[in-house]
Structure formats: C-alpha cells, structure tokens
A and B are shown apart, each in its own frame.
Chain A
Amino acid sequence: MKPYTMDFDVKARDFSSAGESSSKFRKTLLMLSIPSDIVRRASIAAYEAEMNIVIHSYGGKMHFEIYSDKIVIIADDTGPGIKDLELAMKEGYSTAPKEVIEMGFGAGMGLPNMKRNVDNMEVVNHDESGTKIVMTINF
C-alpha cells in the first residue's frame, strides 16, 4: 500500500514557526484515527527532531510516511552534522547556545527522547554534509 506522505521545510533559528511541521503531522495522525499512544509518541519524536533542525542545523526538511501498520519520520538537514554521535545520544549532553537554553531548550534530552519514543531509530548520516535520522513506529 502507498503511504500517506507529508513534507515540510524547516528553517534554522526560526523559533516563531518552529514545531509547525510536527504540529501538522500530529493533526493528520488524529484525523486518520491513529491510536492515541502512537500519536503521542510520534508527535514527541517528530517535535524533538524538528527542534534539533531549528536549533543545531543550517536548515532542513521533515518527511513523514503514514502506512496502515507503521509511521516513518525522517529528519534531514544540511549540516554541520554531529561530530560525536555517541556523546550526543547521552542524556544531558548539549551544545545549545545560551539564548536557546534560556528558552528552555538545550537540556540534552532530545535524541534520547526520540529513541525512547520510537521502535527503531537510525542515524543514517551525521557528517558535515548533514544529519539524517530515520525513525519508525510500528502499530
């Protein structure tokens, strides 16, 4: 079966529109009557990934695929990549700048939160050309 797909551009450092793609994705899941615990997990994972593009990258895209038995969330940006991925995956590790921390971001919980809320998370690229993360939630 062909999935229902959604694509969004995510701008770097644009905090006023940050979270919009995850928010539209969430509304679509609700419209499609996806179970509520799945909607919550998918929304949290998508939002953390989207905010990482806003905060840490030069800009990128969010891509969503909704199948009858799974959801795929892909966050893909244009750099600068994640130098030490093992360190970045640790709770509490963050390179977020001060002004972002004052907004309550940058607790270093985003990547661990993403991993915890999905069934599979793969960082398929994290070199200087960009970070690409593929997450899957099965129903």
Chain B
Amino acid sequence: MKVKDILSHEFTLVAGEGGIEKEVSNVYVCDLLSFVMSHVKSGSAWVTIQTHVNVIAVAVMTEISCIIICEGEKLDENAKEKADDENIPVIAFNGSSYEAAIKLSEMIK
C-alpha cells in the first residue's frame, strides 16, 4: 500500500504531498517521541496527536512514510512547511487513534 492509497474524505492530506508515493508497510501508534525513535520501523504510518514541528524531524530520522494526526488536531504552521520541505505526508483524521488504527489495519491487509 502507498501513502496515497490511505487518502479519502476521512483521511485528508494537509502537507507533504511530495511523499505520497511512499510505501506503507506498518502502523505505529504513540505520542511519546523517544518511544517512536526506539520502536517504530522504517516505512510505517505513524498515528499520533502531536502537531508540532519536532514531529516532522522524528519522522525524517526514523524514515516514517507518513504521519496521521488524530482527533481533528491541527498541524502547526511551521510543521506544515517542514513537512512540505521534507516530503513527509501529514494526514488529518477526525476520530481517535484507535479508530485510525482499525481503519489502517483494514487497508493494509
């Protein structure tokens, strides 16, 4: 599955369009950045409620394919710019991290 295959009326792209051809092979749910740094696999879709610019840096360092921001939280403006620069797709989702994970797990099958 590619990042672009996740996109729908529920999962809307808010930044990083340059990265939507990236392959997604896993899903990881966590809001603690150092946990993500130590546990996430390359090529994952990272589900979180964090919205600040450092999230993009974590995604770059760990080679995450895309970030899914849940609960309708809005991505910070400087994070949006950084995501565009780094080609890290950021996708907004209105439901909980749990709901996002269920839907992603259906898609990734």
Interface residues on B, range: 20 to 34
- Residues of B within 8 Å of A112, CB to CB, are 38
Given A107-B34, A116-B38, A22-B54 contact (CB < 8 Å) = no
Which among B42, B50, B61, B62 is the interface contact of A104 at CB below 8 angstroms? B50
- For B57, the closest partner residue in chain A by CB is A19
Given A40-B62, A40-B63, A105-B34 contact (CB < 8 Å) = yes
Interface of A is mostly: helix
Whether the Cβ atoms of B38 and A113 lie closer than 8 Å is yes
Which residues from 51 to 92 on chain B have a C-beta closer than 8 Å to any C-beta of chain A? 52-55, 57-58, 60-63, 78
Question: A110 contacts the other chain (Cβ, under 8 Å)?
Answer: yes
Interface of B is mostly: helix
A9 to B62, CA, bound (A): 23
Whether the Cβ atoms of A103 and B35 lie closer than 8 Å is no
Whether the Cβ atoms of B37 and A103 lie closer than 8 Å is no
Residues of chain B having any CB pair with chain A under 8 Å: 31-35, 37-38, 42, 48, 50, 52-55, 57-58, 60-63, 78
